[in-house]
Amino acid sequence: MRDVDDWEDDLLQRYPNPGETKKEKDDYRNYVDSDRIDGVREFYRLNHKYQTYDFVCRKEEEFLKFDKRTMSIWEAVDFLNTLVDDSDPDIDLDQLQHLLQTSEAIRADEHPDWFVLTGFLHDMGKVLCLFGEPQWAVVGDTFPVGCQFSDKIVYPEFFDENPYAKDERYNTKLGVYTENCGLDNVKMSWGHDEYLYQIMKDYLPEPALHMIRYHSFYAQHREQAYDHLMDKKDHEMFKWVKKFNPYDLYSKAPTPPDAKALRPYYEDLVAKYLPESLSF
């Protein structure tokens, strides 16, 4: 992919807003060649080939020490903004503006302040890109590893290259898990969702943590492909995940929020729930 936004645009193509009339082709980002779709497919080929149970364990060992950098949320935002790609042909919005569009849409609907904060924080785990991680290990639809890959996952044919797809320890419906064991006991493919969840798990309410941890788990919250791994708590919490998802997908607009005017509100909100600095 050219940048992380290519994955997000691909989501909009796959899951268009049902409340909108069909857009004309020119309304979408207009790449003059096929590099975008080719790039998305190559992204998922690599993602599906390399996201294995052992890979996730190695990444947890590497990154869940949280020894890469200590930052305030605002320093993390500034750091994240360096992900903006000048090749974007249509909209020059940095990561902060996407986060604010999401959180301001949530606030406009008068949801609790922790829900607003979740919208503001939800993509901050993408700082993994700036610690040297390839995009296929940072963004993309997430899914369980350690069991059979569902055909409801995007581009399922690319799992043919994954060595665990042919390993009898991992290629059954339950794999290393037990029926309805609960997602807390399931390892998900590595990326920004799980990373940020691990950073925030001591600070935010449980529904917020599920939104962060599973907002890219489309095979479940859109296709219900992993009900057999979920327990009662998961099903209850996924009501919040589904409530969050439209704000993430459909709040993007070409007019940027006034970040300067909004900052005092978000400074107070961050200070209410989070410490002055966090370890990444």
Alpha carbon distances (Å) from 236 to 1, 15, 81, 136, 233: 35, 23, 34, 30, 5
- How far is Cα 80 from Cα 193, in angstroms, rounded to an integer? 15
The number of distinct structural domains making up the chain is 1
> What domain range includes position 204?
4-17+31-279
Cβ pair 1, 44 in contact under 8 A:
no
Average pLDDT of the residues in 155-179 = 97
In a domain, 24, yes or no: no
**How many alpha carbons fall within 13 Å on the CB side of residue 10?**
24
Asked if the structure places residue 121 within a domain, the reply is yes
Q: What's the pLDDT score for residue 16? A: 72
| Three-state DSSP string of 138-157 | CCCCCCECCCCCCCCCCCHH
Q: What is the pLDDT of residues 230-265, one digit of tens each?
A: 999 999 999 999 999 999 887 666 678 899 999 999
Question: Does the pLDDT of residue 93 top 90, yes or no?
Answer: no
Instruction: Over range 172-188, report the average pLDDT.
Output: 98
Q: What's the predicted TM-score (pTM) here?
A: 0.87
Q: In this predicted structure, what is the pLDDT of residue 69?
A: 96
Average pLDDT of the segment spanning 43-63: 97
Domain assignment present for 176: yes
pLDDT digit string (tens) for 24-47? Answer: 444 433 334 456 678 889 999 999
Query: How many other CB atoms are found less than 10 A from the CB of residue 65?
Result: 9
E-only strand ranges, the chain:
70-71, 278-279
Answer for the pair 177, 229: CB distance below 8 angstroms, yes or no: yes
Residue 132 lies in a domain: yes
In contact, 29 and 9? CB cutoff 8 Å: yes
* pLDDT (tens digit per residue) in 105-119: 999 999 999 999 999
C-alpha dist (Å) from residue 102 to 95, 119, 202, 223: 11, 5, 23, 23
DSSP state of 188: B
| 240, containing H or E segment | helix 232-250
Question: Whole-number mean pLDDT of the chain?
Answer: 88
Encoded amino acid at 157, one letter: E
Structure tokens at 249: 């997908």
Instruction: Tell me what pLDDT residue 29 has.
Output: 39
Condensed to tens digits (0 to 9), the pLDDT of residues 144-164 reads 999 999 999 999 999 999 999
